[in-house]
Amino acid sequence: MSDIIIHSPFLNYYLKHVSLIVQKINVSNTHINYPPRRIHFFIDPNNLQQTTGRQINRFVYQLIKHKIRFAIYPPPPCLFSGKFPKILRDKFYKPVLKLPLMFLNEGFIKYVFSKEDKLCINNKAAKIFSECINCKYKRIKICRGIFKISGSWKCFEKLYEWINQELNNKQRVNLLDVGCGFNQGYFSLYNNLSNKGANLYLLDPDESIIKILKERMRGKLNTYFIQDTIENIVLENKKFDIILLSETYYHLQNIKKAFNNIRNLLKNDGILIIKNIEDPEGLNHENGDKFHRHFRHDNLCKIISTLKKYKFIIMEVFTDKIAIDQLLALIKVKK
């Protein structure tokens, strides 16, 4: 069971298709004793306004109307008009000491409520995004600002470094992002690629993700959207300078077919970059839907062994701990 992620730029889309979200939530709520499905709101910096709060309000009330069991984390007070209605307050997730999984994703904006949040900031596990200048919630110490945590900002900077090396060494780069999803933190990367004239191919099997990406990336030159899997996609051989697998490795259903296809798609001097969080227990992903299920739970050593098995040469490995029990790794390989 994975959490539901609601992206603020597309709240109107979600409001028109509430039944799709209801269906997703109901899949995980078949047993009343299970914890309720948790909903996260990815709030775009351009959407930090009360209009967004009203849209979130309407969306939440639609879920309540459908009698859906869910929890919201984190509760965003400064997006709403003042006091929370009791019906919404009862839906808030009560955070515990252990950080929730989605707290660690790139670009996730979180409201600073607890000492643990402040600890993440002080230890540079999170980047300050904005501190509200004139906000009554800040003055009365309900909210002490907002920040975004980038999983591992060190790994993200290393990823940028590797990609920029390719951009600087070649006239025009073709990049394929496999299982790209809708990752708010990657849009600065996509914009950088577009501005430098790179050809960007965004591949994801989920039709709804492709629709959202087309809307979000409207007007971007040399950007192509493909609804398919890496196992089945048919493209020109030796087309790509960079293929990116960002937290997609576990979702490869047929790993042999996937890696053989990646080898065919890579240019002779192309690179494959894998960004992955070690997930040895496969928490909450054993029974996910066809797009979110984890088919393997390899640690870093096993991933490297698998890459060598399919005749990839390891160029560089970069790791960083993002929580007590989570290791995030970047692996750069070539054919």
CATH at 184: 3.40.50.150
What integer pLDDT is reported at residue 137 of this predicted model? 59
Task: Count up the domains in the chain and report the number.
Answer: 2
Same domain, 272 and 306: yes
Token reading at 33: 């004793």
Picking from 117, 149, 181, the residue at the C-terminal end of a domain is: 149
The verdict on 138 and 173 lying in the same domain is no
Residue 5 host element (H or E): strand 4-7
Please indicate, yes or no, whether residues 140 and 208 belong to a single structural domain of this protein. no
H-assigned helices in 5-133? 11-16, 18-28, 50-65, 86-89, 115-122
Instruction: Tell whether pTM > 0.75.
Output: no
Please tell me whether residue 30 adopts helix, strand or coil conformation: coil
pLDDT for the residue numbered 297: 82
Same domain, 131 and 232: no
136 shares its domain with 237: no
270 vs 263: CA distance, rounded Å: 9
Structure tokens at 185: 């933190």
- Please identify, among 127, 149, 171, the residue that sits at the C-terminal boundary of a domain: 149
Q: Which domain holds residue 248?
A: 153-334
Those residues whose C-beta lies under 8 Å from the C-beta of residue 285, and which sit 6 or more positions away, are 2, 250, 279, 292, 293, 294
Is residue 223 helix, strand or coil? strand
Res 150: pLDDT:
45
Whether the Cβ atoms of residue 245 and residue 274 lie closer than 8 Å to each other: yes
Contact 333, 313 (CB under 8 A): yes
Tell me, yes or no, whether 32 and 171 share the same domain: no
Residue 100: asked if its preceding bond is cis (omega within 30°), the reply is: no
Amino acid at 33: N
Same domain, 277 and 165: yes
Provide CB contacts within 8 A for 325, sequence distance 6+: none
pLDDT score of 191: 82
In total, the chain counts a number of residues equal to 335
Helix (H, G, I), strand (E, B) or coil at 234: coil
**Do both 115 and 200 map to the same domain?**
no
Domain shared by 101 and 54, yes or no: yes
Domain boundary among 117, 132, 149: 149
Largest CA distance in the chain: 61
Q: Contact, 244 vs 270, CB < 8 A?
A: no
Residues 276 and 330 in one domain: yes
The answer to whether 255 touches 303, Cβ cutoff 8 Å, is no
Does one domain contain both 88 and 205?
Answer: no
Q: Walk along the chain (335 residues) in steps of 10 and give the mean pLDDT of each run.
A: 69 85 66 60 67 80 80 62 61 48 41 58 54 58 55 72 91 93 74 88 90 82 93 93 93 94 96 83 49 79 95 93 68 96
For 106-153, the DSSP string reads TTEEEE--SHHHHHHHHTTSSEEEE--SS-HHHHTTS---EEEE-S-H
- What is the distance between the alpha carbons of residues 243 and 177, in angstroms, rounded to a whole number? 6
181 in the same domain as 195: yes
